[in-house]
Structure 1
């Protein structure tokens, strides 16, 4: 399974890139707002993320509300860098936009997917990536992982033709909160997990690893003291 980082924070992206584990970046308006970014600087910020992550897909989201506006935004965003992926929310306006963009070779990440029918429609319209959410289901007392499994099974039953040469559409597990979300997504066969940096750190750490390191350090101190 591939790891994307779900952030617009350049420092987080640079650090995660240094680990050698990233295959892409996803952003959204909320994540950009958390950086303190301004509207006038949005495209320059996305271009810088693309530069830092050269060759890796970087999702930049359109806030347009019409099909025409989404297509216009997508063309402009795609012109920023060859690794831009345009993020669109699943809705009646975004499906024809995605179909048009796919015909132009512009990759779309269809986001805010919460059901298998939504995911299937996104895939059929030509989305390169489909992003079902997990954590937001958990927030309302539902089982986000069960919902994800339904999406994965449904989408992978079929081939779609638009991105066969690239292996798409790929399923991005989104709204990831815990290492268990990552584990279960991998076991289900989801292609990608897009993970906030705090959750990515949790994936590295384990209490038994920390305990083991502490014991090794203590024993090595004894060896060093007797040198």
Structure 2
């Protein structure tokens, strides 16, 4: 499974990259707004840190506007992936972009039918939001199971990128299902390391070593 970090914070991206586990980055307008930086300058910083897919989201909602933004963003670096909302105009744009060899990440997916449309349009990635579904008392991971099954049934090349991850169990469940990517906030990446028995065991080892006075 690939690990992406879901942030636009440069310090968090650098720290995650230093772990040697980071495969890519996803951003969105909300995350970029928190940083108070020019979007293009921010993307130029990110591509220097992470050698992997960097999702940059368009803000246009019409076909021509999406294509115009996508062409501008794709010029920044070969690793830029155009993030497009799962709406009719977005899917039309994805079809055109994929025919031009421009990678796309279709975002705000909440149903298997939406995921099927994105795959048929040639999306590079589909981003189902599991946490937001959980928030409305719907099983977000069940959606991941459905999408993975549908894509395998028809050998779609679109990668399942599990988004809106809230905790390590989401990551474990996504891995068991066979999703291709998990994108997660920095705090969730850190939590993946945590287990009380690991910390306790380490403390015991170090305390015993001190007793040897070496």
Shorter chain as normaliser: what TM range? over 0.9
Alignment partner of 1:53 is 2:50: yes
- Paired position in structure 1 for 2:175: 186
Alpha-carbon offset, residue 33 of structure 1: 1.4
Of 47, 61, 68, which aligns to 1:72? 68
- Paired position in structure 2 for 1:163: none
| Aligned counterparts of 2:189 and 2:68: Cα–Cα separation in 1 | 34
Extract unaligned runs of 5+ from structure 1.
161-167
Of 111, 130, 135, which aligns to 1:134? 130
CA RMSD of aligned residues (A): 1.0
Alignment partner of 1:117 is 2:113: yes
| Aligned counterparts of 1:198 and 1:209: Cα–Cα separation in 2 | 18
- Paired position in structure 1 for 2:19: 19
- Runs of at least 4 residues of structure 1 off by over 4 A? none
| Aligned counterparts of 1:136 and 1:148: Cα–Cα separation in 2 | 13
| Aligned counterparts of 1:133 and 1:150: Cα–Cα separation in 2 | 13
| Aligned counterparts of 2:13 and 2:83: Cα–Cα separation in 1 | 18
**Contact 1:133–1:148 (CA<8 Å) still a contact in 2?**
no
Q: What SS does the corresponding residue of 1:141 show, helix, strand or coil?
A: coil
- Paired position in structure 1 for 2:41: 44
Q: TM-score scaled to structure 2, two decimals? A: 0.97
Alignment partner of 1:34 is 2:30: no
- Paired position in structure 1 for 2:103: 107
Alignment partner of 1:176 is 2:165: yes
| Aligned counterparts of 2:163 and 2:48: Cα–Cα separation in 1 | 23
